[in-house]
Amino acid sequence: MKITIARECGCYGDEVGQVLADRLNVPLYNKKTLTELAKKKGILEHYPDYFGENPAGTLLAVIAEDDGEDSVVHRTPRKVLDELIGETSCILIGRAGNYAYQKENDVVRVFLSGDRESRIHHLMEKHKVKRHEAESVIEKTESRRKQYHTYYTGEDWGYAANYDLCINDTRFGIEGTADIIMQYVKDCNAQEK
């Protein structure tokens, strides 16, 4: 089973992912760990934009969008993830994982959101920055994520229909959000039997 987690900037994606990885005894893959793995496997230089959360440029983004679901660009997330993690059960943070595994049965695709004020405070505490810096990080990061997701998927980032479960993690906290996801996984597994 794979659980993919996309999230708004300032949400607890990595923290929730780590709780789930610990509970399920599976690895957690995020931008940092996937980049390290790509370096080890010698494929990082083949996909620099994929690992950098930077679409290759506005013109290429438009071309990719018009190229349809089966374009080379739209196949990139799945191709890269297959090379790095294969069929391994895991928790995957970001990297357009919800798109890469959208046709798989044994995948739960999650989107975490939260109220802006809580996300600002989380970034201020986590990175020891001032409010205006946290606000700027949110604006820039979310703009990049939207462009990145659209470039690699042709879909709107954060659009509920592209996920199995959307949760306001600022309402439930890290453990509560992990509990909701675990219950969803349990219910899905029960229905399959």
Q: What tens digit of pLDDT does each residue of 19-58 get?
A: 999 999 999 999 999 999 999 999 888 887 787 755 544 4
DSSP 167: E
Q: Note whether residue 191 is domain-resident.
A: no
Please choose, from the candidates 93, 67, 89, the residue with its C-alpha nearest in 3D space to the C-alpha of residue 8.
93
Q: Share the mean pLDDT of the chain.
A: 88
- Longest alpha-carbon distance in the chain: 51
Tell me the sheet residues that pair with 17.
none
Q: Note whether residue 62 is domain-resident.
A: yes
113-139 pLDDT, tens digit per residue, is: 999 999 999 999 999 999 999 999 999
Q: Note whether residue 13 is domain-resident.
A: yes
C-beta neighbour count of 192 within 10 angstroms: 8
- 62-67, long-range: CB < 8 A, 24+ apart: 64/151, 64/152, 64/154, 65/150, 65/151, 65/154
Could you give the number of structural domains in the chain? Answer: 1
- Domain with residue 147: its CATH number is 3.40.50.300
pTM for the predicted model, two decimal places: 0.88
Please state the φ and ψ torsions of residue 55, each to the nearest 5 degrees. Answer: -65, 155
CA distance linking residue 103 with residue 48, whole number of Å: 25
149-161 pLDDT, tens digit per residue, is: 888 888 999 999 9
The boundaries of the domain holding residue 133 are: 2-181
Q: Note whether residue 186 is domain-resident.
A: no
| In the predicted structure, residue 62 carries a pLDDT above the cut 60 | no
